[in-house]
Structures are given as C-alpha cells and as structure tokens.
Structure 1
C-alpha cells in the first residue's frame, strides 16, 4: 500500500505538472504513454513489439498522436489513416501466407485506433486555442471525481453488483456515486468560470465523463479477464501499466471531441 501511494503521488504530480505546462512537454508525455500503451496492448495479445503487425500498429499510433500540424506537415484524415493501416495489415496476411491472421490484423488495427486516437484526443483538447487547460482540467476533474465517488460510495453503500463477471467489486450504488461526484465537479467548474461553459453543457460533460469513463474501466477489465492477466503492465508499481491507469481517459476524451462538446 505504501508503495502504491508513493507511486501514485509522484506519477500524479508529474502528470498534473506537465498538463499545466502544456506545449511540447505535454505532447511528449502523451506520445510516450501512447507507445508504452500500445506495447502493453500488443503484449496482452501475445504479439512481440518487433512483429510486422505490431510495427504497423506503432506507425498508426504515431500518425494519430504526433503533432503533425504544429510541424507544418499535412497528413491524411483519420479515416484515411485507418483505411491505409487496414490495407497494409490485410496485405501482411497475404505476404506472410496467413502466419499473420486476419484476426491478428484486426487486433492491431483496433489497438492503433484505441490507443493512438485516445491519446491524440487528449492532445487536441489541451491544444484548444481558447482555454485549453480549462477544458482539459474539466475533463480530467470529472473523470477522477467519478473514480473517487464510485470507490467511496461503493464502499459505503454498495450492495448491488454492477457486473460481477467482469469486475466483481463494482456496484450499481458505486457507479451512481461516481456519476454524482462527476456532476458536482462539472457544476463547480461552470460556477467558477461561467464565461467558459454554461451549466447545461457542463452537466453533459460530467455525465459523459462518468458514464463513458466507467465503461472504459469495464472494457479494460473485461479484456484482462479474456487474456487472464491482472495488469496490463508494470510501469507503475502498485498501479499496473499505462492502460490500467488511462482506460477511462482513452474513452472519455475521444467522445468529448467527437460529440463536439468542446470548442475545438
């Protein structure tokens, strides 16, 4: 427990500090997290990082997460990137005479999208020209509030299991507590900086962050059960890997971007 607390405090302080600073430091952090996260994903699927399908997956992740526009480099749309990556992975199944299977190709395509676009969306939000730090803080604040609310409300009032076959400790009461805490944080943001966001939109952001964030957690839990592993990695002692810690973020930020709730 002591190691878990120390690791959490140090990692949390570093992440928050770089988020506040923003710029190339935050972008570099996201790129590193994305590469480590995809490595964990490939390893979960018993695919070596040096396997050709993994290497194509890394290319897809980098095409998503690197700040090409800031470097003045025009790259294809996300849909074009996905199609080209799918084509190359499918071509690999032919070149290797099905040693790389279609199932394996599909897994790497999914991983590149899940990890690459997930972290890219975090970068997009932080780089919003008007108040990027505010929008990033709102999203993370709601996500973390949901985690805290779900934990403490679940401990205090949890009786009805939410999804025992996937995550036996989670309860419906805890999930509702997470939604409540997220909405409270969203309201606080709207009240403190009303010129940036109206209350109704803040509540919608809080709701999405809580519900989608909890789904992100369950998605990763379900996948780990399928692969029969406890953690996705060992980067953070006592906390697991990047995908263990960022599972909610990888779902919430893309949803906030795609629903156009944030002024990108």
Structure 2
C-alpha cells in the first residue's frame, strides 16, 4: 500500500501537480481501492464492492471537473484513473503472488529477477551493438 501511494504521487509529480489537493486524495483512494486485499471489502455490506467504490471515485472525479470550473480537466481525470488502475492492480497482484501459500516469496523474487535481467540485458545489448537510440527524450542513454 505504501509503494502504491508513492507510485501515484510520482504520477502527480510527473504532471507537475501538487500532492496536497483533492485530486491527489481521490487518485490515492482510487489506487488504494485496487491495492488493498479483497478481504478488506468484506467488512462493508455485500452490495459495496471494489468495482462499485472505484466507479464512485470516478464519478466524484468527473463531478469535481465541473465544480472546479475545469481547473481539473477530463484529460487529468483520465490520467489519474488509468494510473490508479495501473499502479493499484499491479501492486495488488504483486501482494497476491507474495501471499501464495507455496513458495510465494520465491515466486515473487523470480518475477523481479526476470524483469531486472531482461531490462539489464536489453540495456547492455543496446549499448554494445545498438546504432540508434530507442527514444532519447524518454531515456537518453538507451
């Protein structure tokens, strides 16, 4: 949950948005809706689901675009919602892999090793035999 909160704050920093705002609060809630375990929602009545809470947050975001007199745009809301899905669901499944009863920690470690290895391998191969930079604006050295 803490890493997910850091992740959504990074999105706000990339968009040059302030972290102490209603937008950030809603984006954080949307992210945490997906990040927290499913068992968290069992304390609520059965008609309150993770998806229902997420839709409610989207409606609050869209209402806020009107109430803020378009200081928060639809484009901003789209970025925040997609970021909440990307970060929240990613960390949810990372925790789910870790909680797997048989070797969950080893499986999660394997996932990280594979991702890091492919990234490092692509970087090293690109440095040795690559002639053209892939996307210099995003990553100047790759």
- TM-score w.r.t. length of structure 2: 0.80
Which of the residues 23, 27, 31 maps onto 1:57?
27
Contact 1:85 1:109 in 2 (8 A): no
Q: Quick check: 1:44 aligned with 2:14?
A: yes
User: Quick check: 1:134 aligned with 2:106?
Assistant: yes
Partner of 1:122: 94
| Post-superposition offset of 1:98 | 2.1
What residue is the counterpart of 2:123 in the other structure?
A: 151
Q: CA deviation at 1:81?
A: 4.0
Superposition CA RMSD, Å: 2.4
The whole-number CA distance in structure 2 between the counterparts of 1:71 and 1:101 is 30
Q: Distance in 1 between matches of 2:40 and 2:27?
A: 23
Distance 2:136 2:70 in 1: 37
Aligned pairs (5 A) from 1:238-249: none
Q: Deviations over 1:49-98 (max 9, x none)?
A: 22111110111112121235168536624x43442222110011122232
Q: Which residue of 1 aligns with 2:49?
A: 76
Number of residue pairs matched by the alignment: 139
Which runs of 5 or more structure 2 residues have no equivalent in the other structure?
Answer: none
Q: TM-score, normalised by structure 1?
A: 0.46
Deviation at 1:46, TM superposition (A): 2.4
Could you report, residue by residue, the CA deviation over 1:216-244 in whole angstroms, capped at 9, with x for unpaired residues?
xxxxxxxxxxxxxxxxxxxxxxxxxxxxx
In structure 1, the gaps of 5 or more residues are 1-30, 171-264
The 8 Å contact of residues 33 and 54 in structure 2, kept in 1 or not, is answered as no
Q: How far 1:164 moved relative to its partner?
A: 4.3
Task: Tell me the distance in 2 between the aligned counterparts of 1:93 and 1:100.
Answer: 5
Q: Choose the corresponding residue for 2:36, options 66, 79, 82.
A: 66
The 1:97–1:160 alpha-carbon spacing in structure 2 relative to 1, beyond 3 Å, is closer
Which structure has more relative contact order (CA 8 Å, sep 6+)? It is: 2
Distance of 2:72 and 2:132 partners within structure 1: 43
